[in-house]
Amino acid sequence: MKKIILLSSIVTIFMSCGSSGNGELIGVQQREIWNPTDPYGMVFIPQGSYVMGPSDQDVPFANVSAAKRVSVGAFYMDETEITNNEYRQFTNYVRDSLAHLMLGEAGIEGHLIEEDDYGNFLDPARINWKTKIRWDDQEIREILEEEMYLSSNERYNSVREFDTRKYIYEYQVLDLQDASNKSKREGDASGKRDRSEFLSTVSIQIYPDTLSWMHDYAYSFNEPYTNDYYSHTAYDDYPVVGISWKQAVAFTKWRTEQMNNFLRANNQQATPDYRLPTESEWEYASRGGQDLSPYPWGGPYTRNNKGCFLANFKPLRGNYVADGALKTVKVASYNPNGYGLYDMSGNVAEWTSNAFDESAFSYAHDMNSDYHYNAKEDDHSVLKRKVIRGGSWKDIAYFIQNSTRTYEYQDTSKCYIGFRCAVDFLGRDKKDFQ
């Protein structure tokens, strides 16, 4: 009996001293220290405030923007547009996922993990990425032939090719905006609603529209770009195009999944989600710390003091090659702006996360300004407009200005639109963690 009382006393002492700080409020101890590192291929954009909107004359008198001071929190942004080879990592992942699932379902061992470390049955089974796909193995080829490759009647010159129409990526969405709106509207702001109401699964075909080079330009010889732009190694470092807004969003979801899977496997904290930048973030980053400049490099001119053009666009009333390029060029072919970002003007226009509304500047908040609308399939096409920024190789100088805003429809893909990713910075400034 005395031993039990003594043991209880010891436990009480340790509990009072170890977990509650001798009665003082000390917070939860021994939590993992957060030391932010710049994500690979991204640059840090510090928090700041700037005048968003026209820095020059509204050439087409479109009246879709107005000068407005906006403050933006710190974030990271890709230093270049996503390239063909970077996007190919995504398409190859989806292709290999399909192959692993088919081989596992066909009874080929090693491709699926059906039990966890504790012997619990996994539903659905997980892909075993440690197992390599033996594409040249005869048994493997026969299993994948019908589902993964074009049928014989679709083959051109009898070449065996993957059926890229089946490259479908699925991801889940938790619609926090809808959850917030419903809670506010129905007087339940306590977060007690069933979370499944706001969960949905999105399936999206993710292979680039290589025909965009032809359907965007009639009576123009673009067949070489259609045939080779995405597939040939010569274009690996060129910006990916033919990507719809929906496909760009799917890429950000996949990129987040890949990074967090790696971090969890190494017992590290998950990263904030990769995403498309908001319109206000994009313009702030494009200005590179030069608030009133119409172009990312500063100044009102598109040439430097040696007469060289500073971006890939359509100069001199249509002399496409005067800037050194007929169409797209390798990313980072021109000098970066003050934040170290390349090609914020020209080369390809870029998707942002925002829906396009001509009057958005009038009602969007001046802190992290963001107008979002999740358009449904049966919505009017006007509601499917998404903001694009930066102009492209086919645009005149007005469209490559920092403040010029225009749009394209979320389910369309163009040979002059690409994208880059952003990710939140957790904190005020990098100096806070040094």
Q: What is the pLDDT of residues 184-210, one digit of tens each?
A: 666 665 567 788 888 999 999 999 999
Q: Residue 11: is its pLDDT beyond 80? A: no
Query: What integer best gives the mean pLDDT of the chain?
Result: 90
Question: In terms of Cα–Cα distance, which of 388, 363, 316, 420 is closest to 81?
Answer: 420
Q: What is the DSSP secondary structure assignment for residue 38, as one 8-state letter?
A: P
Question: In terms of Cα–Cα distance, which of 258, 272, 244 is closest to 417?
Answer: 244
Q: Which residues of 150-175 are buried (b: 16+ CB within 10 A; e: fewer)?
A: eeeeeeeeeeeebbbeebebebeeee
pLDDT at 187: 65
Q: Residue 125: is its pLDDT beyond 60? A: yes
pLDDT at 431: 82
Cis amide linkage into residue 124, ω under 30° from 0: yes
Could you tell me the fold of the domain covering 42-83+223-434? paralog of FGE (formylglycine-generating enzyme) (3.90.1580)
Structure confidence by residue, pLDDT tens digits, 358-410: 989 889 999 999 999 989 899 999 999 999 999 999 999 999 999 999 999 99
Q: Residue 297: is its pLDDT beyond 50? A: yes
Max avg pLDDT among 23-32, 42-51, 178-187: 42-51
pLDDT at 14: 44
Average pLDDT over residues 69-88: 97
Higher per-residue confidence, 20 vs 306: 306
pLDDT at 336: 97
pLDDT above 70 covers a percentage of the chain that reads 93
pLDDT at 15: 46
- Give bridge partners of residue 72 from the DSSP assignment: 48
Q: Residue 9: is its pLDDT beyond 60? A: no
Max avg pLDDT among 178-182, 215-219, 275-279: 275-279
Cα end-to-end span (Å), the chain: 54
Q: Residue 13: is its pLDDT beyond 50? A: no
Break the chain into its structural domains and give their ranges. Answer: 1-31, 42-83+223-434
- 309 three-state secondary structure: strand
Phi, psi of 226 (to 5 degrees): -60, -40
Average pLDDT over residues 354-359: 94
Average pLDDT over residues 321-348: 97
